[in-house]
Structure 1
């Protein structure tokens, strides 16, 4: 039977809603939709690129705890509240994922908090 464990980031949302930042199941790592909140201060920037950067810092911290890096990401999903905000985030996304070239999807949708401009979720495979 494959190992299953959860990774928590300290976000108050995880406790309030009842989910984990990431779930490790065998060699697979599933990172929940992650926004640009800084979980130590529970603050979020107004700028979408800054939110993307913080979101990916949060994601890479969860991946590190799972024994992965951004290079292990095989799937990424970007959820944005405004399609015009996608292109300004490309340099951030490229910095994290250009080496891995994961399969990617971008959707425009509403998010839980009006301050959130994007949410990112990734799947990774541990190869070490």
Structure 2
């Protein structure tokens, strides 16, 4: 069974995507930027944006019946290599014990105020034989 998850962001409908898609024991979370969807504002610092990304991802996972501990793959997109040292401690605080396979890419993002985008894939732990 396929379940589509939305944050209610106007971007999802305009661009034709879901925040996350659950398919069986898998959850695929779209690239998530640092918007605060309650206020539709973007924080100025990469640290705040990173925390917002992870909070949005955690909510989407929870809505699909997953936890951050189920994340097996993460892609991090940052707009400046200087941000690496600033976001690593934050990422480590969320994923330090989970340790998903991960890739960080320095690239441009859709809007100039965006400094980071995070995309994750989760596999329900009970499906992979872990309790």
TM-score, L = length of structure 1: 0.96
1:68-107 aligned within 5 A: 68-107=66-105
Equivalent position of 1:26 in the other structure: 24
Alignment of 1:12 with 2:24, yes or no, is: no
Residue 30 of structure 1 deviates from its aligned partner by: 0.2
Runs of 4+ deviating beyond 2 Å: none
Count of paired positions? 126
Equivalent position of 2:114 in the other structure: 116
Alignment of 1:56 with 2:38, yes or no, is: no
Unaligned runs of 5+ in 2: 127-131
TM-score, L = length of structure 2: 0.93
CA deviations over 1:54-98 (Å, ceiling 9, x no partner): 000000000000111111100000001101111101111011111
Residue 13 of structure 1 deviates from its aligned partner by: 0.8
Counterpart Cα distance in 2 of 1:86 and 1:50: 14
